Amino acid sequence: MLPQALLVAFFLACAAGMVLAAVLPDRRAPAAIAWVGAEAAAAALASGGGVLATGHVVQARLWSLAPAGTLVLALDRFSAVFVVVTACVYLAVSLFSAGYLPRYLGHYSLRSFGIAYHALFASVVLVLMAADALSFLLAWEAMAVLSYLLVNYEHEREETVHAGYLMLAMGEAGTLAAALAFLLLAVPAGGLAFASMRGAAAGLGAGARWAVFLLSFFGFGVKAGLVPTSTWLPRAHPAAPGNVSALLSGVILNLGMYGIMRVNLDLLPVASVGPGILALIVGTLSALVGILYATTQTDTKTMLAHSSIENMGIVAAALGAGLVFAASGRPVLAGIADVVALYHLGNHALYKALLFLGAGSVDLAAGERDMDRLGGLIRRMPWTALWFLVGSLSIAAMPPTNGFASEWLLLQTLLRSVELSAVSIRIVFALCGAALALTAALAVTCFVRAFAMSFLGIPRSSASRQATEVPRSMTAAMGLLAAGCLAAGVAATGIIPVLDGAVAPLVHARAAGALVPPFFAPGAGGLPPAFVAEFRDLGAEVGKGIVPGPGLVVLHRGGARNPVVFAMSTAYTLAMLLLLLGAAAGAVAIATRARAVTRRRCWDGGLPRLLPAMTYTATGFSNPVRVIFGAVFHPSAPEDTVEVVAGHFRTAVRRSRPEVHVVDRAVFDPATRAAWRVARALAGMHHGRINAYAAYVLATLLAFLVAGRLL
């Protein structure tokens, strides 16, 4: 079959990429990585797309292990969504690497990079195809180690080594928790196959269900970057190369969400509202904390890393809402929420990969990532500026981009909590919805600041004044992702049915029928004539017979008293924006036709020249957010160091405002202090007296005997 043959071609391409990276000289490695990586991505994209289109599950049995059973790989529609997203990101990153990787020639081995790069791609797809716990964990460990190697690529820098070890250590702790969740599922199932776990899930008690959820949610949540296990993310991204940072946010974080969804939507569907409420709250807190810290960072990659925490929180919040709706007997609303989670996950992969590639381009061209020292790059890097602007508009959820489509759908879905009977649950939904709306507003502030301080105004350093545009392979890769951001927003009515096909078997309901009315179908697909006539007057059938698909309107239908709950159309929004821009351009052309345009120096308030120090900086732009949310950032008191000469002259003043991350203050620092207290208490037992040590052994033995007797 074609998808299966394409998967074979994909793994062969990854293997060929590793072989070529091992035998080719370093100077040829960037081109080889670009071509072979792009071919592997194209094969994975075609295979995943084929599964999504046909619904046929691709299966392959590997080998049998007596204790564990048969290792099986399977690609269904749900995992195919993640394969397609992964392939899109890898395709762009591979092309980008052709112009980006030569910076490392003579400094680090591109041979090792190429081997790890292609092996990571193969391991990610294996994670998504694993159909038993052993295959999953083996592929997951390979992915974790390979990710660590790529993050730690610039291993001569001390901060890179520390960031890599932190990521690896926290990831391994999460893997242990996830492995325990699989173990709890495997024991009653009598095997490690996912199919056996599904069959035995109904027999698990409430306590075991909670244990599986908590272990899987927080275990995989480490890799997804959810609060409170997100501290590795802002350290790993700045340490990694620019193209690897794009893979971390666009591919690796998605695997954490895949693990959470695979366990709690497929293997052991949640049966009570408690887990959904917890996921909703954790997701909302992750989103709000992530965007608050992103808004105050001046390092571009650190800012984007905190923004990744925000967006993974949005995905988790959508998933939590879906779990609550499913447990409350609202399968259609659950399907809509799960579609939104997948939609936003894919959207985030596209625009965050684009923004990280843009940050890598700026770093390569200007040798600088500090937004306080950038500025004016739009004149020197116009293509990079254009694509970074598209990514900024997308992540700020501006219509008609993909970020707007998914975030708007999420907020509208949360409002459907009015259908739930419990008042306390509705209050939680309302508070989380308000916090997510605040998050969306702060995201606009964050990325207006990021684009304006980096690309507009005047250069604030010699590095930004001397920057030049990056090679065409890099701008083409960013342009590809930018086109994806616009297409995924405008084509919302085409994407939702595809995602619904992946979600419907898990929630046992169709969301597409409730979101995409078939206005383009003959006879309007059985919709009430009065309903169709009303929306025909509003233009809902504009494009019928020309544009494929059921229509261009996303519309959630209600009952007779409230036939339309919410509606929007990114396609019509784009058309109106183009008309307005065309009208504005025409009006300007007509108004200036008879006038000669003269250019003069800008008036700078009477100053002969505006100095960079006089302009607005990224720090100044974010200062109101820092002040308003001071309780979150909680900077320590400034420390002033004053040196005087003969007691009369102040020669130096040093002010520092160190900030401890709110998660460290609330979670890790208290845990660390408690561990030290226990360690100090236990240290008193090490006094060197043999009789006391013998008493310790005797007391331990007696304790075990008593415990065994009681049990």
Query: How is residue 208 written in tokens?
Result: 């075991």
Q: What is the pLDDT of residue 372?
A: 87
3-state secondary structure of 12: helix
What are the angstrom distances between the C-alpha of 4 and each of 46, 56, 167, 195? 10, 10, 34, 21
Residue that wins the pLDDT comparison between 593 and 391: 391
Query: Do 351 and 308 form a contact (C-beta atoms < 8 A)?
Result: no
Query: How is residue 348 written in tokens?
Result: 């985030």
Give the up-direction half-sphere exposure of residue 592: CA atoms within 13 A in the CB hemisphere: 9
Q: What is the pLDDT of residue 60?
A: 84
Say whether pLDDT at 688 is over 80: no
Residues near 136 by beta carbon (within 8 Å), at least 6 away in sequence: 127, 130, 182
Residue that wins the pLDDT comparison between 613 and 100: 100
In eight-state DSSP terms, residue 417 is G
CA distance 126 to 193: 15
Residues near 176 by beta carbon (within 8 Å), at least 6 away in sequence: 219
Residues near 293 by beta carbon (within 8 Å), at least 6 away in sequence: 234, 306, 309, 633, 661
CA distance 491 to 343: 12
To the nearest whole percent, how much of the chain has pLDDT over 90? 59
CA distance 120 to 126: 10
3-state secondary structure of 651: strand
Confidence of residue 424 (pLDDT cuts 50, 70, 90): very high
Confidence of residue 639 (pLDDT cuts 50, 70, 90): low
- Cα 119 → chain centroid: 21
Say whether pLDDT at 4 is over 60: yes
Q: What is the pLDDT of residues 106-158, one digit of tens each?
A: 889 899 999 999 999 999 999 999 999 999 999 999 999 999 999 999 988 88
Query: How is residue 73 written in tokens?
Result: 């790989």
Q: What is the pLDDT of residue 635?
A: 61
3-state secondary structure of 297: coil
Q: What is the pLDDT of residue 52?
A: 93
Say whether pLDDT at 638 is over 60: no
SS (H, E, C) 62-127: EEEECCCEEEEEEECHHHHHHHHHHHHHHHHHHHHHHHHHHHHCCCCCHHHHHHHHHHHHHHHHHH
Say whether pLDDT at 266 is over 60: yes
Q: What is the pLDDT of residue 523?
A: 73
Q: What is the pLDDT of residue 624?
A: 83
Query: Do 52 and 502 form a contact (C-beta atoms < 8 A)?
Result: yes
Query: Do 446 and 618 form a contact (C-beta atoms < 8 A)?
Result: no
Lowest-pLDDT choice from 74-88, 602-616, 642-656 = 642-656
Best CA proximity match to 229, nearest among 629, 660, 679, 661? 661
Residue that wins the pLDDT comparison between 536 and 115: 115
Q: What is the pLDDT of residues 209-258, one digit of tens each?
A: 999 999 999 999 999 999 998 889 999 988 999 999 999 999 999 999 99
Average pLDDT over residues 490-513: 92
Say whether pLDDT at 563 is over 90: no
Q: What is the pLDDT of residues 442-474, one digit of tens each?
A: 999 999 999 999 999 888 888 888 889 999 999
Look up the pTM and report it.
Answer: 0.91
CA distance 394 to 549: 24
Say whether pLDDT at 636 is over 70: no
Q: What is the pLDDT of residue 203?
A: 84
CA distance 302 to 103: 21
Confidence of residue 649 (pLDDT cuts 50, 70, 90): low
Q: What is the pLDDT of residues 307-350, one digit of tens each?
A: 999 999 999 999 999 999 999 999 999 999 999 999 999 999 99
Say whether pLDDT at 287 is over 70: yes
- Cα 292 → chain centroid: 16
Q: What is the pLDDT of residue 562?
A: 64
Q: What is the pLDDT of residue 646?
A: 53
